[in-house]
Structure 1
Amino acid sequence: MIKSKSNSILGIISFVCVIPPAASRSRFGCLNVDVNVVSVNIGRLVDLKNIAVPVGSSPPLQCRGCSAAVSQISDIQQDQGGSDWTCEFCSQHNRFDSSSSSSAPSMPSCDMLYLHEDTDGDYVNLEDLLVVFCVDISGSMCVTAEVEISNAVTTPVHVSRLQSIQDAIQRSLTFLLQTCPQGRVALVTFNDEVTVYGDGTGVPLMLKEWELMDFDFLKSQGQQFTCPRCVAESIDTLRCRVQEMREHGSTALGPAALVSVAMASRYSGSKVIICTDGLANTGLGYIDDACQSSSYFYRNLANEAAEKGVIVSVLTFEGTDCRLAEVGRLADRTGGRVNIVNINTVSSEIQSVLEDNVIATNVKATFLIAEGMYFKYEDHSHHKLVKEIGNVTEDLEITYQFGIKESSLQNFIQRDKVPFQLQLDFKTRDLQRATRILTLEKSVVPDSSLVKDSLNVAVLGVHCAQLTARLTMDGRVREAHREVLAQRELLQHMGERNQEEDVYENWINTMTVICDDLSSTPQSKSREGKKQSPGSTMKVLSDEVANVVYRFKRANSIMLKKQGQ
């Protein structure tokens, strides 16, 4: 196993010990689970506002074999003609001439930031972002429910779903006026037509019939629509447009989402908030079990939004069937929220969405571990893993699980230390391209009993939530179910030993939900080793299960501390 050393960046990158597979089984009995997990707080690493790390003036020297960067732990042999470096990750020999070696820092830090000279655009005003409210006004939005009233009124009060959305948007406009008066707000509604109001001051754009089936046309209409004025200037007209909304017709969700994303893509860091209560049944994105075109549409639209730095959040009403597993792709890929709300909670949930700000876009993470190790549950068994993350908000955490190949086990037992490196490439909100590289070395401890009492329950809990959710969406439901049960048993065991009862209790309450939901799906009853396609998994997931799965894909340590999540 590998034991963590004291380091200032461990508050951002947390390691659980690396335990050889054989030792893991002997120490924890019949538990079929590994605890070789790394947790990385991406949100803190790409936030440059309060960063205090060395800034490199030129790109780092990198290995020609695996692209690992030279760091403080690298053994570089210099001579008059240049320098030699045998990569600590892949053992590749690298020769750098005097011109390239002179550009490297004399004492490379374990945490370096590199700012690229080129940017992807002109100056960007960080307050100049756009919030697009994309609202369902189909006939089903007239359904009413009783609202909670705090005063002594005894007569029940009922409001419709649309009325609750109207009230929530009015509250949001007040919030935005107070906190970001220079920001922009636009309104888009949809039923069997899509109506683009923008800031409400101009003539609305009506899109219908064949127009709702033309991807390029809808995209161009959103991009070319008059740029909304700041909310300080448009709030009165927006309030009127919101109050004028009425329910009727079907649900052209796909076309409305496309137009909204196209509008928001003008400003990196903008948001699209989709509020709906029905299945998309008109135009592009029409959800039909006999056709896979909707999956392609929402996946393609999500990728475009992420590329432009747009966050899409999807809010649906409880008791409805919106095929959240499909539509939720928009939020999952772009870093937005997926949630099921009711008339009493929709306002607070929209408020939470508005408070989620993009810190960086186009984020790509490259994680390197020593040759002979591998990343579990990935499509390959290499010691290098690259992930396209996209948009990042301040609370984003990701986890990795790794192990040691059986053929390399004896080699690692004999080693004193092993290296780890994380490379983050990203763009800031003002389009500054940057790269941050963190390198750590961990001491190898051959006996797991020396550190088993110091396992980080929070890291294991977050990892299990993210992993089981990802496996479920990939159609690997049996593996997800097995992982839940194994990790649940392990955390119960370790919680008792570490006396982290409050963390454990919060974790177990959360994981019980997904465990029970996974057990009830048809895939969980399929034969051992049979993998379902992601498309078939999407079709059988109820909105309630999909909601839990999407939230768990973006689980973080803060979530574990909240009761009942």
Structure 2
Amino acid sequence: MEFCSKFAYDYGFSGSDSEDIEEENKITNLKKVRKADTNIISVAFDKLTATSQMFAGEPKKCKNCEAIMTKTSRDNLSADKNIWICEFCFEQNSVKLTNLDEVPNEDDVTFLIEPAPEKPTESKLSNEENTSGDDKYLIYCVDISGSMNTSINRNYYSFRSQAMSRLGAVKIACIENLRTLKTDQPQKRVGFVTFSDEVKYYGDATNSSKPITMCNHNDRYSAGSILSTSNNRANKSFMGNIFSKFKPSQNKPSQNENVQEINNVHANIMDNKEEMLEFSKNQDGDIKPIKKSHSDLERKITNLRTEGSTALGPALTFCIGFLSRLPGSQVILCTDGCANVGMGSVESGQASEQFYEDLAIYAKNKGIVVNVITMESTDCRLALLGKVADLTNGTVNIVNPLNLSEEFKSILQNRLVATDVKAKLIVNNKYLYIRDDDLEIAEAKAYETDDPNAKKELEKLKKSIVEKNIGNANVETEITFEFGVKRLDEDVKKKSTKLDKLPFQLQISYTMPNGAKALRVYTKIQKFTQDRKQAENEIISKELIWANYAQKMSNHISNSSASTAQYRGQQLSSLMSKDEHVPELLKENLKMIKNFSFQTNSSSLNDVQTRDVLKAKKANRKMFL
């Protein structure tokens, strides 16, 4: 937890100042906006990998606000150490300590909530292999539909005689990536899935049998559906072998009970999310480490050919269901077109929006990261597909096919550090409040109408505790909080002196890559000043201001609240007029926000806009250095 400035700006208990908008800085019709300020806190999750004081005892919590006793609490203990007066809500808590050793003596402490579980039984790696590297799953999910045969600019490959197709570029990128993984992460377990009209799961490609194929009943009978209801591994092998032999036009031997089941049961697996998830979870999870499977995978990838349409939704559902057994695993989805077969088809309208939203929530809850890569000059409806990557904290990008290798490498370098991450900020409930999304939306409306009563009603939305559900966090994940000083009643004002310093507490609950659950608690004291210039002259990180505004504006666009995004943009525009060193990346972000109408919603964005908004949502300080 880091503050933007050495001093928080104390507004004298009157709330933030408003300022008139100069004509040259206008991007809205507002006459006034709340002044931008430096009361910003950053949380960078790469810090979770750094060690802190491990505390063996149970965390002692305030019974009212659930703040945890830490180093700053020691000054608020009674002489007999039986009562702790919470420094955040002033609640009197009975603690009955025998000595101070029962209270952490550091401002950064970790509590181990639950030890790491034993390795899952389907991970049939030796003990040596299990402890020598990252054995999480990675699935490449590759579009092999007909459009992937489109030729691309092959100047880079001018020494080749044949034209380079999109699929050809994907093959090269995958093979180069596999070779890197073999060297850098030899225990990584890599699987492979392709999709066209059908979805094919190859596993690690070391098995000589045919891939497991899922398809619509109009094309073939779905062996996958019957496999999903059976735990018999031998029967799975049999069904996989006979699967491709029977088509609706053929005469099926009615005496064969298994074939009859294929004909009658679950023929709609491509349209049934729950059944596809169940089917994928029933697949054998024994995928070999890449150091053992890379040759087979390379051979399989080299022989891929294009065909058919785009069953993207079923393929992604299969991958997420398969990976759900091991949190921290991820899928890299590479496509050049819209989903048009099975569940998630763009032709299904609002149903497709709900499908991807539900799938995103499922993946996030299971600790699965979804990365989405699309091709330049294509329309993939990223407004739909991007939701899954966004909510799971994966990458969304549109790339030149010839740059796919670099994109794959970048994804794998952004290492996952924790899953099931929640970040809770607690501030002093008498003097301070946290500016969350609900408050910002109401504030934008109040300033838009210039209604004094609406502005007074904002007081009811000022919270002293806010929790953000992060889900997956990687080494580049960084979030921000804003806080302000409350307006106080006249009687309270008379008794109050100017703010000098106050504690802030951040609680991060998370699951480590090894499955252990922990709670990390940061408690820091922030000094206050009533001199705005002092706060702004003592800025520790101006990049934090830029990252905060990029996150805030794009977050409101993602939530289809364009008016609030533009309100925040108006604040930024006024701030930028006083600073000549504003990053170009942020200027472009503001320009995009400015061109949206109040009616703009996230589903109406084109692919490039979606990519830029989702990228800005994940802005961190490093992006603006």
Q: TM-score, normalised by structure 1?
A: 0.85
Bigger Cα displacement from structure 2, 227-236 vs 189-198: 227-236
Q: 2:113 aligns with which of 89, 110, 116?
A: 116
Indicate whether 1:187 and 2:272 are aligned: no
Q: 1:482 aligns with which of 534, 556, 567?
A: 567
What pairs with 1:72-471 in structure 2 (closer than 5 Å)? 72-74=71-73, 75-78=75-78, 83-98=82-97, 105-106=102-103, 108-122=105-119, 125=131, 126-149=133-156, 158-202=163-207, 203-209=210-216, 210-226=268-284, 227-288=286-347, 291-371=349-429, 372-379=431-438, 380-407=461-488, 410=493, 414-455=498-539, 456-471=541-556
- CA shift digits 1:124-165 (9 cap, x unpaired): 6452122100011112112222134288x7x99842111111
Supply the distance in 2 between the matched residues of 1:341 and 1:373 (Cα, whole angstroms): 44
User: Contact 1:254/1:280 (CA < 8 Å) preserved in 2?
Assistant: yes
Aligned residues: 522
User: Contact 2:76/2:87 (CA < 8 Å) preserved in 1?
Assistant: no
State the Cα distance separating 1:281 from its structure 2 match. 1.6
Supply the distance in 2 between the matched residues of 1:264 and 1:103 (Cα, whole angstroms): 45
State the Cα distance separating 1:539 from its structure 2 match. 2.5
The 1:103/1:416 distance shift into structure 2, 3 A limit, reads closer
- CA shift digits 1:5-64 (9 cap, x unpaired): xxxx74x887773352656447999764322443434323321xx41x322111221111
SS in 2 for 1:192: coil
Q: Which residue number corresponds to residue 4 of structure 1? A: none
The 1:63/1:263 distance shift into structure 2, 3 A limit, reads same
User: Contact 2:55/2:111 (CA < 8 Å) preserved in 1?
Assistant: yes
Supply the distance in 2 between the matched residues of 1:311 and 1:360 (Cα, whole angstroms): 11
User: Contact 1:374/1:383 (CA < 8 Å) preserved in 2?
Assistant: yes
Bigger Cα displacement from structure 2, 371-380 vs 346-355: 371-380
Bigger Cα displacement from structure 2, 357-366 vs 116-125: 116-125
Q: 1:520 aligns with which of 572, 595, 598?
A: 595
State the Cα distance separating 1:79 from its structure 2 match. 5.3
Supply the distance in 2 between the matched residues of 1:327 and 1:311 (Cα, whole angstroms): 13
What pairs with 1:485-500 in structure 2 (closer than 5 Å)? 485-493=570-578, 495-496=579-580
State the Cα distance separating 1:65 from its structure 2 match. 0.7
Q: Which residue number corresponds to residue 69 of structure 2? A: 70
Supply the distance in 2 between the matched residues of 1:324 and 1:83 (Cα, whole angstroms): 57
User: Contact 2:389/2:396 (CA < 8 Å) preserved in 1?
Assistant: yes
Q: Which residue number corresponds to residue 547 of structure 1? A: 611
The 1:106/1:476 distance shift into structure 2, 3 A limit, reads closer
| Rg (Cα) greater in structure | 2
The 1:14/1:206 distance shift into structure 2, 3 A limit, reads farther
- One-letter amino acid of the structure 2 residue matched with residue 402 of structure 1: F
State the Cα distance separating 1:188 from its structure 2 match. 0.4
The 1:26/1:295 distance shift into structure 2, 3 A limit, reads closer
Supply the distance in 1 between the matched residues of 2:486 and 2:410 (Cα, whole angstroms): 43
Q: Which residue number corresponds to residue 529 of structure 1? A: none
User: Contact 1:413/1:446 (CA < 8 Å) preserved in 2?
Assistant: no
State the Cα distance separating 1:387 from its structure 2 match. 1.0
Supply the distance in 2 between the matched residues of 1:27 and 1:112 (Cα, whole angstroms): 44
User: Contact 2:38/2:535 (CA < 8 Å) preserved in 1?
Assistant: no
The 1:13/1:159 distance shift into structure 2, 3 A limit, reads same
State the Cα distance separating 1:269 from its structure 2 match. 2.1
Q: TM-score, normalised by structure 2?
A: 0.78
Supply the distance in 2 between the matched residues of 1:541 and 1:27 (Cα, whole angstroms): 31
The 1:235/1:77 distance shift into structure 2, 3 A limit, reads closer
Supply the distance in 2 between the matched residues of 1:35 and 1:264 (Cα, whole angstroms): 43
Supply the distance in 2 between the matched residues of 1:452 and 1:14 (Cα, whole angstroms): 7
Supply the distance in 2 between the matched residues of 1:362 and 1:271 (Cα, whole angstroms): 14
Supply the distance in 1 between the matched residues of 2:103 and 2:469 (Cα, whole angstroms): 32
Question: Which of the pair is proportionally richer in strand?
Answer: 1
- One-letter amino acid of the structure 2 residue matched with residue 277 of structure 1: D
State the Cα distance separating 1:452 from its structure 2 match. 2.1
The 1:102/1:220 distance shift into structure 2, 3 A limit, reads farther
- One-letter amino acid of the structure 2 residue matched with residue 460 of structure 1: I
The runs of 5 or more residues in structure 2 that have no matched partner are 23-31, 121-129, 217-267, 439-460
The 1:556/1:416 distance shift into structure 2, 3 A limit, reads same
The 1:36/1:78 distance shift into structure 2, 3 A limit, reads same
State the Cα distance separating 1:447 from its structure 2 match. 1.6
- One-letter amino acid of the structure 2 residue matched with residue 510 of structure 1: L
Supply the distance in 2 between the matched residues of 1:191 and 1:162 (Cα, whole angstroms): 12
Supply the distance in 2 between the matched residues of 1:252 and 1:19 (Cα, whole angstroms): 56
Q: 2:40 aligns with which of 23, 38, 41?
A: 38
User: Contact 1:37/1:459 (CA < 8 Å) preserved in 2?
Assistant: no
- CA shift digits 1:87-144 (9 cap, x unpaired): 121122212235xx65863563211111124445548645212210001111211222
The 1:171/1:16 distance shift into structure 2, 3 A limit, reads farther
- CA shift digits 1:441-467 (9 cap, x unpaired): 222211212232233320110000100
SS in 2 for 1:60: coil
- One-letter amino acid of the structure 2 residue matched with residue 207 of structure 1: M
The 1:163/1:291 distance shift into structure 2, 3 A limit, reads same
- One-letter amino acid of the structure 1 residue matched with residue 425 of structure 2: F
Q: Identity of paired residues, percent?
A: 28
Give the root-mean-square deviation of aligned CA atoms: 2.7
The runs of 5 or more residues in structure 1 that have no matched partner are 1-8, 527-531
SS in 1 for 2:82: strand
Supply the distance in 2 between the matched residues of 1:14 and 1:398 (Cα, whole angstroms): 16
Structure possessing the higher relative contact order (Cα contacts under 8 Å, 6 or more residues apart): 2
User: Contact 1:36/1:403 (CA < 8 Å) preserved in 2?
Assistant: no
Q: Which residue number corresponds to residue 247 of structure 2? A: none
Supply the distance in 1 between the matched residues of 2:7 and 2:45 (Cα, whole angstroms): 20
SS in 1 for 2:479: strand
SS in 2 for 1:419: strand
Q: Which residue number corresponds to residue 264 of structure 2? A: none
